[in-house]
Structure 1
Amino acid sequence: MRHTLQFAPLAIALATLGSAAPLAQSGPASPRDGMLVTTAWVASHLKDPNLVLLHVGDPADYPAKHIADARLVSLNGPGWAAPRAPGALALELPSAEELRATLAALGISDNSKIVVYQAKKYFSPSMRVILTLNWAGLGANTVLMDGGLDVWEAEGRPTTSEMPVVKPGTLAPLRILPIVASLEDVQKAQTAKAVKIIDARDKAFYDGTQEGGNAAARNRGHIPGALSVPFSSVYADDGKLKSDAELQTIFKDAGVEPGDTVITYCHIGQQATSTLFAARAAGFNVKLYDGSMDEWSLKKLPVETTIKK
């Protein structure tokens, strides 16, 4: 990810756009209240004229089963990532105009209420979609349906194979927010006070037992000084985000202190969005190092391991 932006964490950036809980009747009691809605809430608001449901899952499964009027989103589709040139980083954010056109084609307008849900535990892709919407300045109107399609179906709620008829939306130019950390931001954070860098990859990549990094520059280990909160650790067995108390414990045990700003990274900037979402729900200011280990390894920057010899 090559966007170099001023250092303004996500929680602060969203606050400048208004309440983070536009879908609720009153202001959020905790950060997560403005970030998630229940399946019951979605079921009771399906007829809302401004509601836009985004289905994130295997494109092959979507035609046969999705929530009524949900639109398929695939990170492999046009508009969600910049075209990858030879030697470029994977999953870079698109241009503002490309993303704006993609969102409008999905029926998203300035006054839309956007609900993202995952199918078959597509956790990190759905969180990447939410991160992209936040980056585009639409985070105040975007929430996650907690538990996704698995919980929806387990509760006996209906799905459909009928494809939605989508009327293009009307979007003003996107207000891109400075919520992405550059390589230079991460290097400064290594010695900064009250900033923690978090590796969201599986523990084997963090400790160096498994090889990671860009295919052209493999390495073992993590960014020096980084803490470990694997993206899979923030979800309960039913696919819902873990409770506030559980998330607070996870980040405390990892070494994150109250008031810290959290910068997350992973392989290419996707898994890290799950850990970022959880940190934000736990009340931390957050940023994404989108270049992640893909960029760090290509730059041949140092790594450290925790393998006991």
Structure 2
Amino acid sequence: MTTYVSADWVASCISDPNFLIIDTRYSMRHLMGHLQHAVNVPPPKLRNPQGELLSPNELSDLFGAAGLGDFITPILYDGYDGRNSAFVAWILEYLGRNDTHIMDIVYDEWKAQDREVFYRPVPRTERQFTSHINPAVRASLEYVSHTEGLTLVDTRSLEEFEGRSDADQIPGHIPGAINVVWQALVGRDGKLLCGEDEARRIIEEAKIDGSNTIVTYCKVGARAAVGYQMLKQLGFDVKLFDGSYSEWEKSGLPVKNPSGGGDPASVRL
């Protein structure tokens, strides 16, 4: 499981060769300033041109090329909303890593605390990264569509969930899903995640059944990763459907559209 750590803890490890600092923000943000020794690994590098997650071998090669070896501990950090770090941490968990850390404040807060930032690219030391796939954290389209008793949590906006958004070819959501907007789980005052008490309140108000396996999804996986990490921190049995609604709406499977909008021929429920 991913561990969220303080900025002081990160600062104490930042020059330790047994750790690798990974900036999960997009490349342009990284070039505008980053933590000392940080290498840049944003989520787009972890997907193929079709938007699908790279194969385990490709992911292993990519992380190894970035300098993450089998005996190096990753420390991730992120920008304002935590989506990238949450998703990259989930990928590392899927690849079998149980030693991933995420700094619990955003980069801008680190900078606002007058901590040191750097601008020059960091040379990478290629290392051996060996994956040990952990299938328990990943939900496939087949799993979601054929497994009874799942609690599906849609972390997209309410507009998307209710089928009132133009972002989807087939507006709506997976039948039976509960909407918990991912931004509700984002922290305040520079924190990546909200407090555990607040998160439990949100989960209770959404009537999420924690006795079932929970599967989070969004459009392409990143927002769902915020929900995944929060639920995981609270001790729930949770998986992430990284194909998410983008894969579901292309599959021909039923879609629930409360608004009744979109192409009537495509809206199935």
State TM-score, norm by structure 2.
0.89
Mapped contact 1:82–1:95 kept (Cα < 8 A) = no
Question: How many pairs does the alignment contain?
Answer: 259
How many angstroms apart in 2 are the aligned matches of 1:65 and 1:51? 20
Instruction: Give the drift of 1:51.
Output: 0.8
Mapped contact 1:181–1:287 kept (Cα < 8 A) = yes
- The DSSP-based 3-state class of the residue aligned with 2:101 is strand
Report 1:2-41 matches (<5 A).
20=1, 35-41=3-9
State TM-score, norm by structure 1.
0.78
Q: Percent identity among equivalent residues?
A: 29
2:85 corresponds in structure 1 to 126
Deviations 1:233-271 (A, max 9, x none): 101222421111111111111121343321011112221
Q: Do residues 63 (structure 1) and 16 (structure 2) align?
A: no
Instruction: Give the drift of 1:292.
Output: 1.3
2:128 corresponds in structure 1 to 170
Q: Do residues 197 (structure 1) and 152 (structure 2) align?
A: yes
1:220 corresponds in structure 2 to 171
How many angstroms apart in 1 are the aligned matches of 2:246 and 2:83? 17
Mapped contact 1:267–1:294 kept (Cα < 8 A) = yes
1:106 corresponds in structure 2 to 66
Q: How large is the Cα RMSD of the aligned pairs?
A: 1.9
Q: Do residues 270 (structure 1) and 222 (structure 2) align?
A: yes
2:103 corresponds in structure 1 to 145
Q: Which runs of 4+ in 1 moved over 6 A?
A: none
Mapped contact 1:199–1:265 kept (Cα < 8 A) = yes
Letter in 2 for 1:208: G
1:280 corresponds in structure 2 to 232
2:200 corresponds in structure 1 to 248
Unaligned runs of 5+ in 1: 1-19, 21-33, 85-89
